[in-house]
Amino acid sequence: MREGGFLRGVLILTLAGLAARALGAVYRVFLYPLLGPEGIGLFQMAYPVYSTLLVLSTSGANVALSRMVSVRLAAGQAGQVPAVFRAVLGLLALTGALLTLGLWWSAPWLAAVVYREPRATGPLQAVAPAVVAVVVMSAYRGLFQGYQKMYPPAASQIVEQVVRVGTMFLLGWYLLPLGVAAAAAGAASGAFTGGLAGLVYLVWCTRALAQEGGTGGPPGPPAGGGGRIQGPPAGGRVRGPGPGTPVRSGVLPVLREFLGQAVPVSMTGAMFTLFTLADVVVPARLQGAGFSAEAATAWYGRLTGGAMPLINLPSLFSASLQLALVPAVAACLAAGDAPGVRGHAGTGLRLTVAFTAAAAVGLAVLAEPLCLTLYGDPLVAVGLRPLAAGVVFLGLQQATAGILQGLGEVTLPLWHLGVAALLKLVLTWYLAGYSWGVVGAAWATVAGFALAGLLGLAAVVHRLGSVASLADLVLRPAAGLAVMGLCLPALYRWGVEVGGSPWGGTLLAVVGGAFLYLAALLVVGGFRQADLEMLPARAGFLKRWLKGSGLLRP
């Protein structure tokens, strides 16, 4: 895949993720008044079980399949792709069906024994059919990502969320006269209708894929040159089979290959969940440090329900980058293109650091105005300020995981997160229980992210050598951050004066700060010509001006 197409795919996935998040925020705001606290409570009881099943069954499926498809295309074995897809699709359909049946039949027990609320049976059974729909949909998303066509899987997120939210409100309102339990079950069924709609859309998109050559030919040569790997190249240990090298065929070998890659990636997703669950010790440790139960719960809510969602928002970019990196790196590796592997890895790291560093500085400098504007509680900023530093390391962990998974090193990110989760738990227990309080818990999270990200970076450098310069990763972003950080307070104050509210100040600071950062980064040579591919086609004038400005590096 050419670097421009790779960057365009990252942008498409990021925008789709933002749109899906926005729709998710809308339903949370407006569904509460419809169902009330009791109905929302029943509705929410279905989602921890549902989300856990999806993490275990789908988080590794699309990554593994995308890599398998891209490797076969790059190795000149495109004819194997349909058989590979059918084998994986059959396995995922069977897995999803079994999980759906298991959730359906266990719903009464979960409601009565785990939740001690028999009325939760309805919402649990309502989300059960969604499991098979979403699991099967992950196979189609992996297929398109393997062809490095990111628009269909990105658009399917929007379709899924629109139908899901529409069903929630429609059935929630229609069934409300029957009681809050029925209304909660109706709202929960939006997970199934949304998943089914996204699946139908992707199935429809496969027709266009078939018309293009269907099983597809190998993609064009990636950016960075067409050098072929003949043994270990200088500066790294990149090894690939090269074009024409046979890859696994047959149902059982294909399924073994798929499970060998999907299971570690799914376990990595589960490990990330365990990483976040380390915060459950915070309330008890705060009480041990002298806080009342009410105060400890309030600070825990500010940390996990207020600050952490803001930290996770910038990770949409790095998560999209991770999904795009896996097939791009795998295709270059299979084609024996060492410069292509390093080129994609270097671009991924450079963009990750540039984007997440800006987000981190913005969150740290504007912590109190953001929390006041969004939550009406400036105390959320106490945990947000230290947590902001973790944005860079979280992005680094995701980007390096994508590179390593593309190289076939699917177990390394799992081990990195496991060690990081252990460190976070130990530090959270120690720091939150003494005078550091919630700030200590925040720094424990940053330390965990830092360890996972730096271990990933060390593994990438060990295998590929140096893929990005110190100037690209540190010096050029630092210049842009200095300009942005110095101007953000003034922009906020001016926005408050003009707009008459914290909303105006926050909006101006975010938009103006982003513009100043990008401008400064452009002046110091932080962008390359290939980065213009991230701009939409309608920005033709801007592309032409930037190309003629002499500010872009080759």
Q: Assign 398 a pLDDT band (cuts: 50, 70, 90).
A: very high
Report pLDDT digits (tens) over 485-507. 899 989 988 988 887 778 888 88
Q: Rounded to the nearest 10 degrees, how much is the dihedral formed by the CA atoms of 364, 369, 371, 377?
A: 130
The residue-averaged pLDDT of 109-116 equals 87
519-548: per-residue pLDDT in tens? 888 888 887 777 766 666 666 666 677 776
Q: What is the pLDDT of residue 154?
A: 92
Task: Give the range with max mean pLDDT: 203-217, 246-260, 405-419.
Answer: 405-419
**pLDDT exceeds cutoff 70 at 212:** no
- pLDDT score for 115: 82
Residue 329, token pair as written in the block: 């790196």
Q: What DSSP character marks residue 46?
A: T
Q: CA 131 to CA 101: how far, in whole Å?
A: 9
Q: Give the ranges where 389-411 is alpha helix by DSSP (H).
A: 390-406
Q: Indicate the pLDDT class of residue 432, thresholds 50, 70 and 90.
A: confident
Q: Which of 188-197, 289-298, 475-484 has the highest mean pLDDT?
A: 188-197
3-12 pLDDT, tens digit each: 556 777 888 8
Q: Which residues pair with 337 in a beta bridge?
A: 228
pLDDT bin (cut points 50, 70, 90) of residue 211 is low
Q: What is the pLDDT of residue 224?
A: 36
Question: What is 318-369 written as a DSSP string?
Answer: HHHHHHHHHHHHHHHHHTTBHHHHHHHHHHHHHHHHHHHHHHHHHHHHTHHH
What DSSP letter does each residue of 323-336 carry, written as one string?
HHHHHHHHHHHHTT
Please give the pLDDT value at position 214.
Answer: 47
